């Protein structure tokens, strides 16, 4: 388990050893002990962390309603009658009971800390990202050197617009906390599209070495601009490669994004 944060709040990240390679998160206010659980899958592990740190669960926040992000909801909220599930209105039908809608621009308070809510559809229509200080919880919108698929109720045009208008607009030092650990495959795909990119090669070496020690890498929005092809839509080397080898016709950023997403689906 990794712990991030400062004197005011802590973030616990832990990896679930399933085939989907999920991450679960708990955010807590150090002064009050109130916490929010994000996308619980392994409820037993979540409740162990809650007990060990003497926390009270105020919210379960679901970035979206795919089964691997909500299936631990009920055992987690059963622990406290006062806790609630927070999800975008378009996800309400998938979760029950005690669920409340939150939308773009809302602020969620956990003890003394404030989390800003961004609506980032594309992986699915109800997808939310959560901003706490210089940490962004992106669910399945982006991953280290990649982005979410659009196979289950998703749309690549919406995903393009969420990434290019909302996530790309965050400061370079914003740390990305995503829903799955897919970094090695994503970097290998990135290298297949952008083979001369030294930053991608270096990050792949770093990621391989960390994973071999059972450590999980972290990246920032600024780093993603260097090696994530879905953030590099106006890069000449990528565009030329897609035109020469993958029948890219229009080279506007949205068409490049959609082509990259199609190629990643088949890769």
The tokens for 85 are 């599930």
Contact 138, 124 (CB under 8 A): no
Residue range at the interface with Zn ion (CB under 5 A); choices 74-82, 83-91, 136-144, 160-168: 136-144
Looking at the Cβ atoms of 55 and 142, the one nearer to Zn ion is 142
Looking at the Cβ atoms of 16 and 50, the one nearer to Zn ion is 16
Residue with tokens 């150090």: 30
* 140 lies in the site for Zn ion, by CB under 5 A: yes
Give least dist CB 250 to Zn ion, A: 28
Give least dist CB 119 to Zn ion, A: 15
Comparing every residue's Cβ against Zn ion, the nearest one is 66
Contact 27, 14 (CB under 8 A): no
Helix (H, G, I), strand (E, B) or coil at 176: strand
**Contact code string over 238-257 relative to Zn ion, x by CB under 5 A:** --------------------
According to CB under 5 A, which one of 10, 13, 66, 88 is a site residue for Zn ion? 66
Looking at the Cβ atoms of 111 and 122, the one nearer to Zn ion is 122
Give least dist CB 128 to Zn ion, A: 12
DSSP assignment of 120-136 equals --SSSTT-EEEEETTEE
Helix (H, G, I), strand (E, B) or coil at 28: strand
Rounded to whole angstroms, how far apart are CA atoms 197 and 262? 21
- Binding residues for Zn ion, total number by CB under 5 A: 2
Rounded to whole angstroms, how far apart are CA atoms 118 and 110? 17
Cα radius of gyration (the chain): 18
The tokens for 157 are 């045009």
Residue range at the interface with Zn ion (CB under 5 A); choices 64-72, 113-121, 186-194, 201-209: 64-72
Q: What are the residues binding Zn ion (CB under 5 A)?
A: 66, 140
């Amino acid at each position: 388990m990794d712990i991030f944060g400062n004197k005011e709040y802590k973030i616990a990240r832990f990896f679930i050893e399933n085939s989907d390679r999920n991450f679960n998160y708990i955010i807590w206010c150090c002064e009050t002990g109130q916490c929010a659980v994000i996308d619980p899958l392994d409820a037993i592990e979540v409740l162990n962390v809650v007990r060990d740190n003497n926390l009270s669960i105020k919210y379960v926040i679901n970035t979206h309603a795919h089964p691997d992000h909500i299936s631990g909801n009920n055992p987690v909220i059963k622990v406290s009658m006062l806790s609630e599930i927070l999800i975008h209105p378009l996800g309400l039908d998938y979760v029950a009971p005690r669920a409340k809608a939150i939308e773009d621009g809302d602020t969620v308070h956990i003890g003394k800390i404030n989390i800003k809510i961004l609506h980032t559809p594309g992986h699915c229509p109800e997808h939310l990202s959560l901003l706490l200080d210089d940490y962004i919880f992106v669910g399945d919108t982006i991953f280290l050197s990649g982005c979410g698929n659009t196979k289950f109720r998703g749309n690549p045009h919406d995903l393009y617009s969420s990434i290019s208008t909302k996530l790309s607009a965050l400061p370079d030092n914003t740390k990305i906390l995503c829903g799955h650990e897919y970094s090695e495959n994503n970097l290998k795909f990135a290298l297949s599209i952008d083979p001369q990119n030294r930053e991608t090669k270096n990050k792949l070496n770093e990621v391989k070495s960390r994973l071999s020690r059972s450590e999980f890498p972290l990246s920032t929005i600024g780093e993603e601009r260097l090696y994530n092809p879905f953030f590099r839509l106006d890069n000449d080397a990528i565009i030329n490669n897609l035109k020469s080898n993958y029948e890219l016709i229009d080279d506007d950023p949205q068409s490049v994004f959609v082509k990259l997403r199609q190629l990643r689906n088949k890769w």
